[in-house]
Structure 1
Amino acid sequence: MTARRRQLAVAEVLALPAMTTVPQAAAACGLSRETGYELARLGEFPIPVLRIGARSLRCRRVDLLAFLGLDDSDAARAASPAASSEHITAPASQQIGTRS
């Protein structure tokens, strides 16, 4: 029985940690876990793979985002509220603790 591969959505890719696993990076590229490990073993994975310790393989999120044509600032925009939705309740002089 073969497992179906599930490609990660853009929001899921942007939420990945700075150092991600080969299976996560493979899923972001639309590859199966097995294909990801095979390409890493052959040195043909589409982004650089780093060996951490004796058995752990990791990829940098920044390399993955560049390969997919995404930008790290996309993640920052997704995580922060829009300027128009911010609500200021007190004057700036009161917010920073200065006296007027």
Structure 2
Amino acid sequence: MTEESKAFTIRELYDLPAAVHLMTAARALHMGRTMAYDLVRRDEFPCRLLRYGGTYRVATADLLELLGVPLPEPGRPAAVESI
């Protein structure tokens, strides 16, 4: 299994930056490059997209919400051990 196809752990999801590349979001959603860009082209990607020229980013908070991973409370670190 390659690093690109390896599933994220909860800890890795919480360690993501505020916005991630489209392929990082696709990996978290277990979808490939072709499907991700096809959904983008049809305006059906399941998270809000931020576009900078030809580059797409996904807000990590949107990705966590879609995956059902609780967002950490403001000012408090994520309590991964309790999940």
Fold match (TM-score > 0.5): yes
- TM-score normalized by the length of structure 1: 0.64
Once residues 67 and 19 of structure 1 are traced to their aligned partners in structure 2, the CA distance between those partners, rounded to angstroms, is 14
Please, which runs of 5 or more residues in structure 2 have no aligned partner?
none
Once residues 12 and 33 of structure 1 are traced to their aligned partners in structure 2, the CA distance between those partners, rounded to angstroms, is 20
Q: Which amino acid aligns with 1:76?
A: P
What is the CA-CA distance between 1:58 and the residue it aligns to? Answer: 0.5
For residue 58 of structure 1, what is the aligned residue in structure 2? 57
* Higher RCO (Cα < 8 Å, 6 or more apart): 2
- What's the RMSD between the two structures over aligned residues? 2.3
Percent same amino acid at aligned positions? 31
Aligned residues: 75
- TM-score normalized by the length of structure 2: 0.75
Contact 1:8/1:30 (<8 A) preserved:
no
Please, which runs of 5 or more residues in structure 1 have no aligned partner?
80-100
Structure number with higher helix proportion: 1
